[in-house]
Amino acid sequence: MRIGFVGLGVMGAPMAGHLASAGHDMVVFNRTPPKAHDWVAAHGGRVAADIADAARDSDVLILCVGNDDDVRAVVETAAPALPSGAIIVDHTTTSAKVARAMAGLLAVNGRVFLDAPVSGGEAGAKNGQLAIMIGGDTRAVERASVVIGAYAKAIRHMGGPGTGQLTKMVNQICIAGVVQGLAEAVAFSQKAGLDPNLVYEAISQGAAQSWQMDNRWATMARGEFEFGFAVDWMRKDLGLVLEEARANGARCEVTALVDQFYAEVQAMGGRRWDTSSLAARLKK
C-alpha cells in the first residue's frame, strides 16, 4: 500500500521502519526535517515536501506526533489533500475530544479517522510488540489492522471515535498507581535495611507481581531513570485523564496525587526521566 507517515520520533521512527520492512510504499514527514532524511537513508521511501504531500495518494496516513494541537494541525492540513476512502490512523496520545472532532472533520468522501493510541513504549515499537487500542469505524479498523499489525502484538477495537483514547487513559491510571506503589516499596526496602534484589526474588512470584515490578524494580533501586516514556509525556496523559474524569464524574484520587508527585520530579530536573523516576523523589 501507499502509506504516508507523519512524526518520526522515539515511537514513530521504528513503527514506520516495520512498515518499510513489510514492503509498503512509504512517504514520510517530520516537523524537524533531518529526522525524515535520516529515516529515508536507513529504510528507503521518500521524504514528503510537506504534510499535504504526505497525504496525497496515501491509502493510509499514519500519525505519531505529540499532543492535541499537533494532531489538529496535521489533520487540518492533510484533509484537503487526502484521497476518497483513505484512512488516518493516529497513534498520538490525545484527548478523546480531539479524536471525536477529527473523526467528524474527516468524515466526507468515505474517509475515516481512527484514534489508535499505543502501549508498550520504545521497546515495544522497536520490537513490533505494541498493544493498540482503537476507536472508530469497524470496517476501517479491519482495513487498518492489516497494516498496523506490522508492529502490534494486540489490536483491540474499543467502539466509536474517542474510545481508543479513553482506553489509553485507563492504561495510564493503572500505571500511575502501580509505579508509585513500587517506588514506595523500593524506598521502604532500603530504609528497612533489606537487599532490594532479594526482596524482588521473594515477592515477584506472588500477588505483588507486575510488568512494572519485573522491568523497573531493579533500575529504580539503582536510581536509573533512562527507560523511554518521559515524565513530561506522563503529565500530559494524566492531565487528559483528570480532565476526562472531571467531565464523567470518575474519582481518580490516587491519579491526581501521583500527577502532583510527577510535577515534583519535573522540578527536580526530571522532565525527560522515565516514569519510574517517582523513586527519585523519595530519595530526597
**173 burial level (CB within 10 Å; 0-12, 13-18, 19+):** buried
Footprint of ligand NAP on 119-138 (CB under 6 A): 121-122
Q: By C-alpha distance, which of 104, 103, 76 is closest to 89?
A: 103
CB-nearer residue toward ligand NAP: 32 or 84: 32
Instruction: Residue 142: count other Cβ atoms within 10 Å of its Cβ.
Output: 11
Say if residues 63 and 89 touch (Cβ distance below 8 Å): yes
In angstroms, rounded to a whole number, what is the distance separating the alpha carbons of residues 146 and 137? 15
| Residue 153 annotated among the catalytic residues of the structure | no
Element (H, E) at 74: helix 68-78
The least CB distance from residue 141 to ligand NAP, in Å, is 19
Q: Is 52 in the site for ligand NAP (CB under 6 A)?
A: no
Stretch near ligand NAP under the rule CB under 6 A, chosen from 25-33, 141-149, 206-214, 218-226: 25-33
The least CB distance from residue 71 to ligand NAP, in Å, is 8
Q: List the catalytic residue out of 126, 168, 191, 284.
A: 168
The only residue of 16, 64, 89, 103 in contact with ligand NAP, by rule CB under 6 A: 64
The only residue of 28, 62, 74, 278 in contact with ligand NAP, by rule CB under 6 A: 74
In angstroms, rounded to a whole number, what is the distance separating the alpha carbons of residues 237 and 242? 9
Q: Is 66 in the site for ligand NAP (CB under 6 A)?
A: yes
CB-nearer residue toward ligand NAP: 82 or 185: 82
Give the up-direction half-sphere exposure of residue 278: CA atoms within 13 A in the CB hemisphere.
27
Interacting residues toward ligand NAP by CB under 6 A: 6-12, 29-32, 35, 64-66, 70, 73-74, 92-93, 118, 121-122, 228-229, 233
